[in-house]
Structure 1
Amino acid sequence: MKPNSLKSTASKLAQTRAKLALAWRKIYAHIEPKSRHIYGTIDEVIKGFCTRASTYITTLIHTLLAKTLAQRNALITLGLLFVSVCFGLWSVFVLGILYERAQSSLRASLLESNALVATPKPPIESPRIAPSTPPKSHIGMGDSLQALSTKPPAIPALDEKESVITGSLTYTNAISIARSSLMAQDFTRARIWLYRAFLLHNGAQEVWELYWQSFEQDYRASIEQKQAAYTLYLQAKRYYGF
């Protein structure tokens, strides 16, 4: 190839490269503002979407938390209301029982004080009333022989000082105080007054039945004590024929 042709080819290539570079610059100068605008628009859209999504998620979380707290507060309120109602009913029930016991004990104390202070006399130990032989029409042959061959059953005295009758005391007063003490679940006091009623009327069916009940209703009494009281009640029932 001749040197002139090589120079001509190189010159053409340089001119072509210059034209391409110039064209690229023009294209880039024309595209750059639009690309920046498109990029800015896309960036704003993405930022707006992210902001809205973040706001929506935050609002949703706050709403769910508020509902959860509201439900928990509602459950706590209902629980406290239920506990308050149960406690109120229990208080009314317990206070009612305590009030009834206090009233029964107060009535028994008033009856006791009226019975002992009505006509004061010097303390004199009252002898036991000798039990009368039960009528033969109320007991059988075997029971009659057994009643005549054994001693009459007697209620044991709990305390000698408490068991002594002082002043003017009737059987009705003694049995009434014993009943009131039994209703108040004061079993020891009830037995003392049953013993006093026994001294005044040893063959009364009511005395022996209440004496047996004072052990049956006493949760502190042992099985042996309850059995002994029931056996004594059966002996009195056989002896006195009630």
Structure 2
Amino acid sequence: MLQYSILQHYEVCKTPLLDVTQSLKAACSFAILDNKDNVGYIYVLGIPYMTGRISVDSEEYITNVRLLSIGCSLSKRPFFQEGYLVQTEFTTDSDIKKGELDFNRRLIAIYKFNNNEKFWGLEKPIRKEILYPEQDKMKNICEKIKKEKYYLSLQEGDKYLIGEFLYLWNSLEELVRKETKNNNFMRGISTLVQQENILYEKNRREIDRLRNFRNTLVHETSKIKNEQLEIEIDNLKKILKELNISYQ
């Protein structure tokens, strides 16, 4: 989750996490950032109290990461944004289907405000160059990751398709790890098959094929074309649906 937090905050790829802040000033500054309408909206969520750099609430099934605490000392963006990343920990498929872990259920209020002197008073919104400081070591690292992992020519794979495939694949890996408590994915699959889990036994060969495709995608990205990516995304979605794995 720590890696996810950095990737999400620096916009490297899609993750299951949600960016939030405890700072009302930071929230209002983001709400009017590059906003030509001069009207901002603040969404207030009810989240368990944060107790440390990583807060885990076992009753609410929520994990919260304080970015400033997990980033390096030269990571500037979390300091000015006072950012946190939160995610729900799925328990059962029925919980997911009922939407009990949906953050929409935690929405307390939506505030609308006008971006003018009357609203800000003696305060001023945080400037964009402060919210997104250029002298940020982690930003440079993440941009390098983007360039090396996701930079593709027009003839090669699309970075958003790559992100979607890896996001879906991670949903499968996470569930297998949770069900088997085994960090080795294929050993986890073997364990489920040995437990006579019919769904995994039926799809084992296809899962292994998709795993090989995933390895090629990560290590030899230039070999993968858009059309192939789209086909394998559909194949992976079919597997997830058959295994009753939520990925939204």
Quickly name the TM-score band, shorter chain normalised: under 0.3
Bigger Rg over Cα:
1
Q: Which has the higher strand share?
A: 2
